[in-house]
Amino acid sequence: MARESLKPAASIESAPLTGPDPVAVVLPALASLGSIVSVAALGWIGRDGSAKPRRGRRSVAAILKDLERDCRDLQDAFKRIVRGLPVLVSGGGGTALPMKFGMHALAVPEHGQALYQSLLSAVSALLLRSGQHSHELMGAIEDGSLEPTDEQFQAFGEAQERLNELFATRAGLKTAIETGFDIAVQLTALLAAMRERYVGA
């Protein structure tokens, strides 16, 4: 599923302009995933459920549903990024080169500027949403309203390690996008299972 849906579209020739860096679009998407997998930390620190519920916190079911939606939207965002790569990386280095600012975008067609702004707006909004929803979820876990299983905490931890590995190994742009998409798929299923377990409890 992941690889088949991540095929880039053909580029369109147009008058080239100095273009924005595609890494600046990919990093907020990865950071959105990072905010969600930070839940893993609660799996190994002490929790006694004595924390007071945060003021104005929404229901656990609503929080899980919103985070699941965030992950689905991240899947779509990574797909859009891949489809736009032939335009955004038209004058820079190849996508297999290490993910590094200034390496990938030099000459971008005029229509690529609008694509870049659209992608940046979408992933920036996702970063804000996922950060807020993750914060709410961690609060629900800390006060004992939600008790993920050890396996679920482990799944968050494994996803976190995959993200960390991208930076530790200086992964290429293409690898970072594909891995981000795979993690978004994994987290979508994980959060859906958590919501189903919570609602059915």
pLDDT tens across the length of the chain (201 residues): 455 556 655 444 444 455 567 888 899 999 999 999 999 999 877 555 566 666 657 899 999 999 999 999 999 999 998 888 777 765 545 666 677 776 655 566 677 778 888 999 999 999 999 999 999 999 999 888 999 999 999 999 999 999 999 999 988 888 999 999 999 999 999 999 999 988 865
Q: CA triplet 56, 60, 65: central angle to 5 degrees?
A: 115
Which amino acid, 160?
Q
94 DSSP assignment: -
Nearest by Cα to 8 from 86, 76, 112, 77: 86
Predicted model pTM: 0.83
